[in-house]
Amino acid sequence: MVFVIIVSTQKEKQDKILINHEKIHLRQQWEMLILPFFVWYITEYIINRIKGMENRAAYRAISFEREAKENEQNQDYLKYRRPLTVDDFLLKNVFFLINLDKF
Ligand SMILES: [Zn+2]
């Protein structure tokens, strides 16, 4: 009985984290008017692969994923998150794209 309660509590916690993760993505999408979000998401993934990252690492390094992953356990994150939070990784990828011809 105790085991079932612990498992269900753990599952509930994991579900809350997952839902929070997806809510962060929804906020990111609305801020970027949806389509540019997906364009930039895919662009970052491609840049990461060009840099030599493996599939999973390239996915995890996408700036939107980093923000969501780093803050998914903070249920209050979206209450105080500043609009258009851009982490330095996104800026580095913009810089990489601008200077692609030099690589
Ligand atoms: Zn995600």
Averaged pLDDT of the chain: 86
Smallest CA-to-CA distance from 45 within 74, 28, 66 is with 66
Query: Which residue range forms the structural domain that includes residue 62?
Result: 15-102
Separation of CA 79 and ligand 1 centre (Å):
19
The token pair that represents 84 in the structure block: 């258009």
In a domain, 8, yes or no: no
Structural domain total, the chain: 1
In a domain, 7, yes or no: no
Separation of CA 84 and ligand 1 centre (Å):
17
Q: For residues 98 and 93, what is the distance between their CA atoms, to the nearest angstrom?
A: 9
In a domain, 74, yes or no: yes
In a domain, 4, yes or no: no
For 40-72, how does the pLDDT look when each residue is reduced to its tens digit (9 = 90+)?
999 999 999 999 999 999 999 999 999 999 999
Separation of CA 13 and ligand 1 centre (Å):
17
Considering the entire predicted model, what is its pTM? 0.79
In a domain, 6, yes or no: no
Distance from the Cα of residue 34 to its chain's centroid:
14
Smallest CA-to-CA distance from 41 within 4, 90, 78 is with 90
Kindly list the protein residues that place their beta carbon closer than 5 angstroms to ligand 1, a single-atom ion. Answer: 65, 68
